[in-house]
C-alpha cells in the first residue's frame, strides 16, 4: 500500500510557511502604516487615527473606547478632551485615599450640553464618557423616541464614601472615588419629566423605548451600566461607572 503521509506532511509544511509569511507581511504592513500615520505622512480623519486624541464630536467607532481608556492614564490629555467639549468644568486637587475613598484626576462639572439639576465632581474619564453619552446617545434618542430635546438631567450624585449598595461590608463602590454617576430622570423641552422609576415599565411605550435606548447606548462608553433590570436597588436610577469590571444590565 502506498503511503501518502510524507506528501501530506510536505504539503502541510508548505501551507504553514505560506501562512507565516503572509502573517509577517501583514504585521510589517500594519507597522509601516502606523509609522506613516504617526509621522503625519498619511492624513486620515481623527476618528480613524489611533494616535489622534479623542474628540467628543467625532463619529463613534471601534477606536472610541480604546481612546477613552487611554485617558485613565493621561490626565493632561483627558483635560484637553474636556476643554474641547461642551462640558463646563474645572480641575480639582487630588484627595489622598483614606479607607478606600478619595479623588484622583477629578473635575468639578457645572454644566454640560444639557442642563443639570446640580453640579457634580467626577473623575475626568467618567466626565468624558458622560459627554460622549450626551452627544451620541441621549440627545439622538430623545429626538428619535420623544421628538423633542432633553433640557435637564436629574442625577443623584457621584461622590459618596460608601460600599456597594450601602452595605456595611464588602468592597467600596466606584462612588467612593467619584468614578460613578447615578441618573434618575430627564426634563424635556415641553416641561414633561421622564423618570427611571416611573417610566421604565408599564407606561408610555415611547418613554420605555427612550430609557432602554439610553441604557443600551451607555454601554458603548461606560464600563458598568446598571438599570432596573439588574436589581431592586436600581429600580429608580441608572448607574454608570468607569471601574475595573464590565457589565451592561
**What is the arithmetic mean of pLDDT over 88-98?**
94
Please give the Cα distance from 44 to 41 (Å, whole number): 10
Digit-coded pLDDT (tens) for 153-188: 999 999 999 999 888 888 999 999 999 999 999 999
Report d(CA 191, CA 119) in Å as an integer: 21
CB atoms within 10 A of CB 156: 18
pLDDT tens, position by position, 121-139: 999 999 999 999 999 999 9
How, if at all, do strands 193-195 and 180-188 pair? antiparallel
Return d(Cα 202, Cα 205) in angstroms, integer.
8
Cα–Cα distances in Å, from 84 out to 87, 191, 218?
8, 30, 21
Cell digits of residue 219: 454601554
Q: Are 223 and 241 in contact (CB under 8 A)?
A: yes
Amino acid at each position: 500500500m502506498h503511503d501518502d503521509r510524507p506528501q501530506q506532511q510536505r504539503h502541510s509544511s508548505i501551507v504553514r510557511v505560506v501562512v507565516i509569511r503572509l502573517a509577517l507581511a501583514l504585521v510589517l504592513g500594519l507597522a509601516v502604516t502606523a509609522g506613516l500615520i504617526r509621522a503625519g505622512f498619511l492624513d486620515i480623519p481623527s476618528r480613524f487615527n489611533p494616535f489622534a486624541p479623542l474628540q467628543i464630536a467625532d463619529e463613534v467607532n471601534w477606536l472610541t473606547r480604546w481612546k477613552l481608556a487611554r485617558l485613565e492614564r493621561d490626565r493632561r490629555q483627558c483635560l484637553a478632551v474636556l476643554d474641547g467639549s461642551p462640558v463646563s468644568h474645572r480641575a480639582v486637587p487630588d484627595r489622598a485615599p483614606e479607607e478606600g475613598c478619595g479623588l484622583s484626576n477629578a473635575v468639578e462639572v457645572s454644566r454640560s450640553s444639557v442642563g443639570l439639576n446640580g453640579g457634580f465632581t467626577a473623575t475626568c474619564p467618567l466626565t468624558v464618557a458622560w459627554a460622549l453619552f450626551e452627544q451620541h446617545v441621549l440627545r439622538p434618542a430623545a429626538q428619535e423616541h420623544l421628538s423633542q430635546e432633553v433640557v435637564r438631567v436629574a442625577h443623584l450624585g457621584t461622590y459618596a464614601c460608601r460600599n456597594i449598595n450601602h452595605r456595611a461590608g464588602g468592597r467600596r463602590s466606584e462612588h467612593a472615588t467619584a468614578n460613578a454617576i447615578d441618573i434618575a430622570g430627564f426634563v424635556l423641552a415641553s416641561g414633561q419629566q421622564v423618570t427611571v422609576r416611573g417610566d421604565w415599565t408599564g407606561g408610555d411605550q415611547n418613554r420605555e423605548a427612550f430609557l432602554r435606548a439610553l441604557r443600551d447606548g451607555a454601554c458603548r462608553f461606560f464600563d458598568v451600566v446598571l438599570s432596573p433590570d439588574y436589581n431592586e436597588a436600581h429600580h429608580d436610577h441608572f448607574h454608570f461607572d468607569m471601574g475595573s469590571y464590565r457589565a451592561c444590565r
